[in-house]
Amino acid sequence: MKHNVYFEGKVQSLGLDTEDGNATIGVITPGQYSFTTATEEKMVITSGVLRVKLPQEAWKIVRANEEFIVKENVSFDVEANRDVSYICYYK
């Protein structure tokens, strides 16, 4: 099991293999963060509310049980006002 720690521990995840391929399950604590992708990612919010800024798009709100897709080799921003949990599937 792989444990990922970002932004001085404010974002953490655990890696796992699923029937849909590699994934991580994680928690984002309050704050604004920028991430980059190496592969396409599908992020599903499992609890909380996350503001998301994808390349060349406006900020949008993603709530529990909603998802968004991030293309490969791009940067994107997220902002959380409370703890947010997610599962991220990698292509």
pLDDT digits (tens, 9 = 90+) for 26-53: 999 999 999 999 999 999 999 999 999 9
Mean pLDDT score, 10-23: 94
| Helix (H), strand (E) counts: the chain | 0, 10
What is residue 20's predicted lDDT score, i.e. its pLDDT? 83
pTM: 0.94
Domains and CATH numbers, the chain: 3-90 (2.60.120.10)
Two tokens at 72?
């490969």
Mean pLDDT score, 10-15: 98
Question: Is the pLDDT assigned to residue 63 strictly greater than 90?
Answer: yes
pLDDT above 90 coverage of the chain, percent: 95
Question: Is the pLDDT assigned to residue 1 strictly greater than 90?
Answer: no
Nearest to 80 by CA among 19, 7, 31: 31
Q: Is the dihedral of CA 56, 22, 51, 10 positive or negative?
A: negative
Question: Is the pLDDT assigned to residue 72 strictly greater than 90?
Answer: yes
